[in-house]
Amino acid sequence: MSRIALATGANQGLGLALVAGLAQRLDRDDVVYLTGRNQQRLAAAAASINGSRAKVRTELLDVATVDSANHLGTTRTLRAFAPILRDSGRLIVVASSLGTLHWLAPVLHERFEDLPTLAAVDEVTCAWRDAVRDGSAFWDVSGAPTPAQAAVPLIDLVLDEIPLDTYYGQLIRGTTVLPWKP
């Protein structure tokens, strides 16, 4: 059976590096969807990919809506794709390591502990967004790896023969499981 991969926010940066890497490592019958919210930028991104074996297709996909901005884009995307995921498929959420609880203000840690549902995650995320807006939250985003560097372990995660339950529900960097709280 041919394989299908889809990357959101893929017209530049990490998303584009992921599409390029997947297209090179997947087979000719496989398809990689390069998705984003602007047709011209999608076309330019697709044209910039060299040496791909798999088919690269572009699709418009904006993970935000007018009323919720992008803070709920991740959980919205999970809800949309989980019901159509094949048995051996994977949903991978790419988070900045600066977004782990370790880097958040200690006063905010307890907000994110033991959240039981996606709805609860959405609720707390919006509260955190509000804290950012009112200036009570702050973090420094310097020192991140380049998109190409960051894409390497993610492509390994997609394509390597890792038992499906190895990282289920876990926060990982490369192959290292990280604690959800300090």
3-state DSSP call for residue 58? Answer: strand
Which of residues 150, 157, 159, 178 is near ligand NAP by CB under 6 A? 150
- What is the C-alpha separation between 43 and 40, in angstroms, rounded? 5
- What is the C-alpha separation between 90 and 167, in angstroms, rounded? 11
Binding flag, residue 13, ligand NAP (CB under 6 A) = yes
End-to-end CA distance of the chain: 42
Which of residues 4, 12, 49, 178 is near ligand NAP by CB under 6 A? 12
Residue closer to ligand NAP by CB (options 30, 103) is 103
* Angle at 17 (CA atoms; ends 80, 42), nearest 5 degrees: 65
Scan residues 46-105 and list those touching ligand NAP (CB under 6 A): 62-64, 70, 73, 94, 96
> Residue 31 phi/psi, 5° resolution?
-130, 135
Which of residues 3, 37, 71, 129 is near ligand NAP by CB under 6 A? 37
Which of residues 2, 38, 166, 175 is near ligand NAP by CB under 6 A? 38
Binding site for ligand NAP (CB under 6 A): 8-9, 11-15, 36-38, 41, 62-64, 70, 73, 94, 96, 144-147, 150
